[in-house]
Amino acid sequence: MSDRIGASARTDTGSVRAVNEDSYLARSPLFIVADGMGGHARGDKASQQAIREFDERIPSGSVPTPDEVLDTVAAANKAVRGLSQVDDSGVAVAGTTLTGVVLVRTAEGAQRHWMVVNVGDSRVYNWDGRTLTQLSVDHSAVQELLDAGAIRPDEVAQHPERNVITRALGADAAVEVDVWLLPASGSQTFVVCSDGLCKELTDEQIAHILAAHASSDAPPASVADALVDAAISAGGRDNVTVVVVESQMGDVGDDRESTLDRAAATSEFLEDTRPRS
């Protein structure tokens, strides 16, 4: 029996912005990205504070419970709200998205799970070697319009409300978090990213880069670099942050059948909100 978790990560200011408001944490059991709200006070400080709360409260190598993760989200929300300030124009709100995967234990001796958490429009994807599936659901104005059938997918990129998010840490005293639990079993790969990646690259382009990397001789640590470089080459109009998590739980051989079934199994274990098709 062998368990291995590896990750590659990178953040970049991009080609247009002067300040990088993204922050990330990529060490077991935490693989999370926070994107400070552009146009709000202290967006960079907000994302840094959210990440700091996780780093300080959940030690490296530990396996927290889902409740401990949710308590940390609440603490991060409170800390980010503490950054808001009042000036002549009123209250300047500090805010940030928060998304990622955390290795958790649901009970003593029980199988471990990957806990997907999301607030805002940063994303978590699952990559099974052939198919890229968005696990998180964007908390954004355009996503609500899409769900209501008011706009088409090809209208999102140019919609005037494309940068409006409907949930964020720091916006309210209590934060509503989307949570999913997936059994940690076999070989699994997750891509956690700020919207600087998915606004520049389509899901098909992201999948192509992941597939190309897997079939090349590139070192494992370069996959996040490849995705960030591609987003910058496509325009880099926002900060871009990518964390790619590759885990192997147990002994995994050439299990082609389980690999082909993994996308279906992922959908089966998602709780509450389903991923966008």
Which positions ≥6 away from 38 have C-beta within 8 Å? 17, 21, 163, 238
Structural domain boundaries enclosing 245: 3-269
pLDDT of residue 107: 83
Q: State the DSSP string of 172-196.
A: SSS---EEEEEE--EEEEEEEE-HH
pTM metric for this prediction: 0.86
Phi first, then psi: give them for residue 214, nearest 5 degrees.
Answer: -65, -30
CATH at residue 177 = 3.60.40.10
In a domain, 22, yes or no: yes
In a domain, 274, yes or no: no
Q: What is the pLDDT along the chain (277 residues), one digit of tens a residue?
A: 478 999 999 999 999 999 999 999 999 999 999 999 865 668 999 999 999 999 999 999 999 999 999 999 999 999 999 998 655 555 667 899 999 999 999 987 778 999 999 999 999 999 999 999 999 999 877 766 766 777 777 766 666 666 778 899 998 999 999 999 999 999 999 999 999 999 999 999 999 999 998 877 766 658 999 999 999 999 999 999 999 999 999 765 544 344 334 333 333 333 433 333 3
Domain count, the chain: 1
What residues pair up with 190 in beta bridges, in sequence order? 126, 245
E strand or H helix that includes residue 10: strand 3-12
In a domain, 276, yes or no: no
In a domain, 259, yes or no: yes
E strand or H helix that includes residue 91: strand 90-92
Q: For 126-157, what is each residue's pLDDT tens digit?
A: 999 999 999 999 987 776 676 677 777 776 66
Q: For 81-94, what is each residue's pLDDT tens digit?
A: 999 865 555 566 78
pLDDT of residue 150: 73
In a domain, 101, yes or no: yes
